Copies of this chain bind each other. A is one copy, B any other.
Amino acid sequence: MGRQPAKEQPKSTRSHNRLEAVLEAAARLFATKGYKATTMRDIASATGMQPGSLYYHFESKQELLLEIYRQAVGGIQQQLDDATCEVDDPWERFDAAVVRHVETVLDRSHYAKVMIGVLPDDAPDIREELAMLRDGYESSFIDIIDDLPLAEDIDKKLFRLTVLGTLNSTQLWYREGNYTPSEVGHNVARFLRQPLE
């Protein structure tokens, strides 16, 4: 050890990997154990670093969480766009969005799990920023909901809240094994469909 033959990656890439490894580990741990229950030591040792070393990359635990939120929003919003951009019928757009959201949160991305599962109140100093990021994502979803043809006596706002709540709750009860995330998504989408009259 100590001696290291020049690798073909430029230095900047290597360091970038390191930082990404930290984010990845932190996201996984935050998603799994929760923000409060995850210690900087946990994150460090999952990355093969010392706790103090994390502070070279992030000013604080909260800042680390914030970065995860940021990446999560970017990622899941991209997913949503991909899934819905070519679908025109409102309810089909809704179905596609729900399915993709559930798939992403349950399967693909620890980042998304963190954004959904870690509440802004857990990090008081950056509450506002976290809430805004969350809202940013939710608003994409809300647009889709608002396009739905709903019976007049349905309270749209409550419907929105209910839908988002339902989606986000999936990760509280989902356990791998019986159903695939995709199955869950399709079913949930169906349960939430509303007849016009």
| A contacts, CB < 8 Å to B | 33-34, 36-37, 119, 121-122, 154-155, 157-159, 161-166, 168-170, 172-174, 178-179, 183-184, 187-188, 190-192, 194-195
Contacts and interface: CB of A to CB of B under 8 A. Distances in A.
Contact of A122 (B37, B154, B164, B191): B37
Nearest to A169: B165
A40 to B, nearest CB: 14
A14 to B, nearest CB: 11
B168 A172 contact: yes
Contacts of A154: 187, 190-191
- The A interface is mostly helix, strand or loop, or mixed, namely helix
A113 B150 CA distance: 31
Nearest to A187: B158
A94 B5 CA distance: 48
5 contacts: A34-B121, A158-B183, A161-B173, A166-B166, A191-B192
A125 to B, nearest CB: 14
Q: Which 9 A-B pairs have the closest CB atoms?
A: A165-B169, A169-B169, A166-B166, A158-B187, A36-B36, A161-B173, A162-B191, A165-B173, A162-B188
Given A36-B36, A192-B191, A158 B184 contact: yes
A49 to B, nearest CB: 16
Contacts of A119: 172
Contact of A191 (B33, B159, B174): B159
A128 to B, nearest CB: 16
A165 B169 CA distance: 5
A173 B116 CA distance: 12
Nearest to A166: B166
